[in-house]
Structure 1
Amino acid sequence: MFRNNYDNDSVTFSPQGRIFQVEYAAEAVKQGSVVVGITSKTHVVLVAVKRNAEELSSYQKKLFPIDEHVGIAIAGLTSDARVLSNFMKQQSLGHRLTYGRSMPVRSLVEMIGSKAQTNTQHYGKRPYGVGLLVAGVDESGPHLFEFQPSGMTEEMVAFAIGARSQMARTYLEKNLDKFASCGREELIAHGLKALKESLVQDKELTVENTSVAVAGAKSKDGGAKAEPFKVYDGQEVNAWIESVADEKEAAAGGESGEGMDVDA
């Protein structure tokens, strides 16, 4: 009723125990374009739909490398994402210079969680209006973490954030049992299919609006080498998009042919 009395800063609770500025930041994440992350036993994949503000503008980047073994996908305010990504790069570089090895993904995620949660404790600060999917590989294998503006972080097998992400999550839930055994190409295909579920009817995945990022872990038997985190844009993603489109057309053709009599 008197919301304006309780949303002027992030340290004032409403009578219902809510912090409205944290909820506003979470709403900013829901307004961002959708990003999807999936892990298997060997790889972690991020896929994202990029937006452009108008026809004459370029598409906004959604995937950013942090270190050679980890990167992020963003949904929400890009300016806030830039602050967090710079912080993560500094921490990763400092850890590498100090210890001579890459930083564990969980430790990095816990650091940005603590940094974001601090903004909900001190007067004059505000929550970061961005959600992240942090994907990377370390000695324990591939990992995918979700970061929320409240500072909460969780490890996920597969997840999606952003506008209309519930439809992508529904696809991920239906196919959850398949992901663990998927190879690199299969995992990317599942990510793109989940992304397509979240698109509005008149929109399609194209080389201009789609980004893919992949990182792979070193196999225990030494058969496969570790694959550094790499972002693919433009024509690099064309083959993946076409393969998903071909599968959809083949499935549609199979359904239309059911029940039809064909003369020999």
Structure 2
Amino acid sequence: MFRNNYDNDSVTFSPQGRIFQVEYAAEAVKQGSVVVGLTSKTHAVLCAIKRNAEELSSYQKKLFAVDEHVGLAIAGLTSDARVLSNFMKQQCLSERLTYDRAMPLELLVSLIGDKAQLNTQHYGRRPYGVGLLVAGVDETGPHLFEFQPSGLTQEMLACAIGARSQMARTYLEKNLDQFAACGRDELIHHGLRALKETLVQDRELTLENTSVGVVGLKELGKKALEPFKVHDGPDVKDWINSVADEAEAETSAEGGEGEGEGGEGMQVDE
């Protein structure tokens, strides 16, 4: 795309004050498959749709464990995501070695934000073409953070990034008030429902293309940690089936209402 040579590097502003390299990186996030994150009082959940480049290839991994108390989901360039996830792992290991404690979530996300923003200040570098949802638990409870290629990081109650993510955001906004009181399985159920909203008509959630990551507290008010774990394949079967069964029930209920209305109309005509 021709931008009058204002997009050759990430340190040159256009006359309108835009950095096109950052915008291109954000576009890479929009082209990635969708990931959804949401939190309750006890758990943080990440749900992702995996893609395969062709029928003969395996599905691309979307969820990564960083430490026992934190994990992340990616949308965009996987190679850039691995650079950032490895950096986060190093920081967590350093924190445990130096201070014998888990890395504070807000500090960890701030560090990757600074690392990404640094690339927009030095000639010859480029922004990371990946967006992250970072879910974890600290002494105050579960948290969810969004990372953008510009270096912007912010805490979210629920979030979706990637292709067709606006449909998932709409579902999350409608049901946001319910999340705080949800248990682990119910929160996962909401995440998969939001994920399902983003699918085109001929696709469904399957064991091969769906991943779920969960971290949380075993009991509200207790500090017993439920470590971050990625669930793939048979582990997500029951959750996917429950979402499918609910969708079928809603469809049949709508059909029943339509028949009832038709029946009433016939009685009035008689």
1:15 and 2:11 correspond: no
Say if 1:169 and 1:221 are closer, same or farther in 2 by CA, change over 3 A.
closer
> Aligned partners of 2:218 and 2:188: how far apart in 1?
18
Give the match's secondary structure for 2:25. Answer: helix
> Aligned partners of 1:166 and 1:11: how far apart in 2?
30
> Aligned partners of 1:45 and 1:19: how far apart in 2?
33
> Aligned partners of 1:187 and 1:199: how far apart in 2?
19
Task: Output the amino acid matched with 1:181.
Answer: A
Give the match's secondary structure for 1:5. Answer: coil
Q: 1:241 aligns to what?
A: 240
Q: 1:97 aligns to what?
A: 97
TM-score (norm 1): 0.96
Q: 1:3 aligns to what?
A: 3
1:116 and 2:155 correspond: no
Contact 1:138/1:217 (<8 A) preserved: no
Say if 1:108 and 1:44 are closer, same or farther in 2 by CA, change over 3 A.
same
Q: Give me the CA root mean square deviation.
A: 1.5
User: CA shift at 1:4, angstroms?
Assistant: 3.5
Give the match's secondary structure for 1:175. Answer: helix
User: CA shift at 1:226, angstroms?
Assistant: 1.7
Give the match's secondary structure for 1:188. Answer: helix
Give the match's secondary structure for 1:75. Answer: strand
Give the match's secondary structure for 1:144. Answer: strand
> Aligned partners of 1:221 and 1:92: how far apart in 2?
24
1:155-192 alpha-carbon deviations (Å, 9 max, x no partner): 00000000000000000000010001101011000000
Contact 2:41/2:220 (<8 A) preserved: no
1:11-36 alpha-carbon deviations (Å, 9 max, x no partner): 00000000000000000000000000
> Aligned partners of 2:134 and 2:88: how far apart in 1?
11
Q: Which has the larger radius of gyration?
A: 2
Q: 2:250 aligns to what?
A: 251
> Aligned partners of 1:4 and 1:243: how far apart in 2?
52
Give the match's secondary structure for 1:4. Answer: coil
Contact 2:42/2:220 (<8 A) preserved: no
Q: 1:48 aligns to what?
A: 48
Contact 1:135/1:145 (<8 A) preserved: yes
User: CA shift at 1:2, angstroms?
Assistant: 6.6
| Runs (5+) with no aligned partner, structure 1 | none
TM-score (norm 2): 0.94
> Aligned partners of 1:65 and 1:54: how far apart in 2?
26
Q: 2:206 aligns to what?
A: 206
> Aligned partners of 1:49 and 1:2: how far apart in 2?
33
> Aligned partners of 1:134 and 1:73: how far apart in 2?
7
Contact 1:38/1:159 (<8 A) preserved: yes
Moved more, 84-93 or 248-257: 248-257
1:103-139 alpha-carbon deviations (Å, 9 max, x no partner): 1111100000000000000000000000000000011
Say if 1:45 and 1:221 are closer, same or farther in 2 by CA, change over 3 A.
closer
Q: 1:150 aligns to what?
A: 150
> Aligned partners of 2:77 and 2:96: how far apart in 1?
29
User: CA shift at 1:225, angstroms?
Assistant: 2.9
> Aligned partners of 1:153 and 1:177: how far apart in 2?
23
Q: 1:189 aligns to what?
A: 189
Contact 1:33/1:162 (<8 A) preserved: yes
Give the match's secondary structure for 2:111. Answer: helix
Q: 2:267 aligns to what?
A: none
> Aligned partners of 1:206 and 1:220: how far apart in 2?
32
Give the match's secondary structure for 2:10. Answer: coil
Task: Output the amino acid matched with 1:231.
Answer: V
Q: 1:35 aligns to what?
A: 35
| Runs (5+) with no aligned partner, structure 2 | 265-270
Task: Output the amino acid matched with 2:229.
Answer: K
> Aligned partners of 1:132 and 1:91: how far apart in 2?
17
> Aligned partners of 2:2 and 2:206: how far apart in 1?
46
User: CA shift at 1:221, angstroms?
Assistant: 4.2
Equivalences, count: 261
Task: Output the amino acid matched with 1:130.
Answer: V
> Aligned partners of 1:45 and 1:148: how far apart in 2?
19
> Aligned partners of 2:94 and 2:4: how far apart in 1?
42
Q: 2:268 aligns to what?
A: none
Contact 1:10/1:125 (<8 A) preserved: yes
